[in-house]
Amino acid sequence: MSSFVGTLKVEAKGDREIVMTREFNAGKDLVFDCFTKPELIKRWLYGPDGWSLDVCTVDLKVGGKYRYVWKYLKDGSTMGAGGTYKEISGPDKLVQTESFDEAWYPGEALLTTTFAEVSGKTFITINILYETKEGRDTVVKSPMEGGASQSYNRLETLLNTLAETAKGKN
């Protein structure tokens, strides 16, 4: 599997991994903040249209926990996920576990997100390692790619808005 949705690239790698890459027109400090500060996360990480991110807590320290709960606006159903931070080397790298309240893939995943800035643009790479090939394949067949693409497009818009606001203050 290898495909592009917008500018998000999603690839299956080996038996248990998915690698997502995306370029943003912003510095890595700001992109890192958008991945770690609840007030910014809530503005872009709410999945496909028709969902909201109602709970977003982040204890940004090694061993700290994060928790997200999304709500489907049409019927009020929810989907929750969370995990533990294993490594924080901001603004260059985040490593965290991920598991869903109602597991739709077996076990938990390990996400390693790297932020690399080149000429004012930030390239993020998210390596998602699943416990089993079955888990990875379940995610590959799900609508995750489309939802992630919508979220990252929202993040690009948010980054542009934050950059414009910062310019206005100077």
All structural domains of the chain, each given as residue ranges with its CATH number in brackets, are: 8-162 (3.30.530.20)
The 8-13 sheet, strands edge to edge: 2-5, 8-13, 17-24, 121-130, 109-118, 93-100, 78-89, 65-72, 51-58
Q: What is the mean pLDDT of residues 151-164?
A: 92
> Is residue 5 predicted with pLDDT exceeding 50?
no
pTM for the full predicted model: 0.91
pLDDT band at 3 (very low <50, low <70, confident <90, very high): very low
Q: What is the mean pLDDT of residues 135-156?
A: 90
3-state helix, strand, coil in the chain (%, to 5): 30, 45, 30
pLDDT tens for each residue of 74-110? 999 999 999 999 999 999 999 999 999 998 888 899 9
Question: What gap in Å lies between CA 152 and CA 17, rounded to an integer?
Answer: 20
pLDDT at 96: 98
> Is residue 139 predicted with pLDDT exceeding 50?
yes
